[in-house]
């Protein structure tokens, strides 16, 4: 089994509509999942959801009106209300509404990201990540190929219905994202993290990609590992500012706790108690990668089972209930130098990587 690969072209609305049409069944499954999750488990009522959607719609239009048109296209293509598609694309921020602040275990999205520079990887630049999330998304995640003539084309691993998540563009810009939670995070008017990732992948060059994070208005925290052929950086984004972390000895890693921003911006980390394994995941990945780095070595790091099942390669933990339990839904290795994205549908210890590139289909 492998994720559905969807290729779209045209203007923003046309791209979104085609995406909505080709992923209609999966989008409806994801929307039903989230509506149940938000209403029945996070205690967010219908009125609050509608109000939140209106606020996010305004924030998205302000951030990039063309991306809002693409979301409108998704809505029309899958025959779902625009407000619901906006909510899905704002699901990271929506976790802070209502009772969610008291239920951080339900919000868990644990990921381990790694990057390698050319001097340690035979001239290639890598950004890679294990995306750990709810088991539901093993069947409703897609590989979306956004093919464009005037702007960079994009390949992204994303939940069906969401405009973009982790991925890379045809200029070799790649992004991975790690969930972070600080004492300053709250629900409010924010540019959705999913839209920030898309803006990064719309960028024609590395400095423009970095600027996307620094210019975003946010009330939540997240880490973006951004790479281009020859360089990789971590940007820890918080409501109080952004902190930059550079590679050491050609390697950079991150998981789900602050490495610098908590010191520079005087805030407390509130996610370690939810995912204490974050404290060793990024360090283990760094130790495994030490020295010469290759695709195989990155795959080995992302398949590490120390502290199984809550390891870098995360497996089902039957001690946890369905709402708090997460697994490695996909492992991504992006070779930014060759412009190839490799992905698994499930744990990298058992599933083979499949490659996607920017070559035209047909």
Per-residue H/E/C for the chain: CCCEEEEECCCHHHHHHHHHHHCHHHHHHHHHHHHHHHHHHCCCCHHHHHHHHHHHHHHHHHHCHHHHHHHHHHHHHHCCCHHHHHHHHCHHHHCCCHHHHHCHHHHCCCEEEEEECHHHCCCCCEEEEEEEECHHHHCCEEEEEECCCCCCCEEEEEECCCCCCCEEECCCCEEEEEEECECCCCCCCCCCHHHHHHHHHCCCCHHHHHHHHHHCCCCCEEEEEEEECCEEEEEEEECCEEEEECCECCEEEECCCCCCHHHHCCCCECCCCCCCCHHHHHHHHHHHHCCCCCHHHHHHHHCCCCCCCCCCCCCCCCCCCCCCCCEEEEEEEEECCCCEEEECCCCCCCCCCEEECCCCCC
pLDDT of residue 98: 61
Domain pair 10-102 / 108-356, same fold: no
As a whole number of angstroms, the distance between CA 297 and CA 288 comes to 8
What pTM does this model have? 0.96
As a whole number of angstroms, the distance between CA 301 and CA 311 comes to 11
pLDDT of residue 90: 96
Give the class (CATH, top level) of 108-356.
alpha beta
CATH architecture of 10-102: Orthogonal Bundle (1.10)
In the chain, where the domains are located = 10-102, 108-356
Question: 209 with 228: CB under 8 angstroms?
Answer: yes
pLDDT tens string, the chain, 362 residues long: the values are: 789 999 999 999 999 999 999 999 999 999 999 999 999 888 899 999 999 999 999 999 999 999 999 999 999 999 999 999 999 999 999 988 865 555 555 566 889 999 999 999 999 999 999 999 999 999 999 999 999 999 999 999 999 999 999 999 999 999 999 999 999 999 888 899 999 999 999 999 999 999 999 999 999 999 999 999 999 999 999 999 999 999 999 999 999 999 999 989 999 999 999 899 999 999 999 999 999 999 999 999 999 999 999 999 999 999 988 878 999 999 999 999 999 999 999 999 999 999 999 986 54
Partner residues linked to 253 by β-bridges: 114
pLDDT of residue 362: 45
pLDDT of residue 361: 53
pLDDT of residue 105: 54
Distances (CA, A) of 133 to 3, 24, 190: 15, 21, 22
Partner residues linked to 328 by β-bridges: 132
């Amino acid at each position: 089994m492998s994720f559905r690969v969807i290729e779209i072209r045209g203007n923003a609305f046309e791209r979104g509509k085609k995406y909505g049409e080709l992923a209609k069944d999966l989008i409806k499954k994801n929307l039903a999942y989230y509506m149940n999750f938000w209403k029945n488990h996070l205690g967010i009522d219908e009125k609050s959801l509608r109000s939140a959607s209106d606020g996010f719609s305004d924030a998205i239009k302000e951030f990039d009106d063309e991306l809002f048109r693409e979301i409108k296209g998704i809505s029309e293509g899958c025959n779902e209300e625009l407000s619901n598609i906006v909510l899905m694309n704002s699901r990271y921020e929506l976790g802070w509404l209502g009772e969610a602040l008291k239920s951080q275990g339900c919000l868990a999205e644990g990921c381990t990201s790694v990057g390698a520079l050319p001097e340690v990887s035979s001239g290639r630049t890598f950004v890679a990540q294990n995306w750990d999330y709810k088991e539901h998304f093993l069947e409703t995640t897609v590989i979306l190929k956004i093919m464009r003539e005037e702007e960079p084309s994009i390949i992204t691993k994303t939940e069906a219905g969401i405009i973009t998540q982790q991925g890379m563009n045809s200029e070799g810009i790649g992004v991975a994202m790690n969930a972070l939670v600080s004492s300053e995070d709250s629900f409010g008017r924010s540019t959705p993290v999913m839209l920030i990732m898309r803006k990064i992948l719309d960028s024609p060059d590395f400095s423009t990609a970095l600027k996307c994070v620094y210019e975003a208005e946010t009330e939540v925290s997240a880490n973006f590992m951004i790479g281009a052929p020859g360089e990789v950086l971590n940007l820890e984004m918080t409501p109080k500012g952004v902190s930059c972390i550079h590679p050491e000895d050609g390697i950079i890693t991150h998981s789900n706790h602050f490495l610098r921003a908590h010191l520079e911006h005087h805030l407390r980390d509130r996610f370690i108690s939810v995912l204490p394994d974050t404290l060793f995941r990024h360090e283990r990945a760094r130790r495994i990668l030490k020295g010469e780095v290759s695709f195989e070595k990155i795959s080995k790091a992302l398949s590490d089972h120390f502290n199984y099942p809550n390891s870098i390669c995360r497996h089902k933990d039957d001690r946890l209930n369905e709402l708090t339990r997460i697994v490695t839904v996909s492992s991504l290795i992006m070779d930014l130098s060759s412009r190839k994205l490799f992905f698994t549908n499930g744990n990298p210890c058992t599933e083979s990587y499949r490659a996607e590139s920017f070559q035209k289909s047909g």
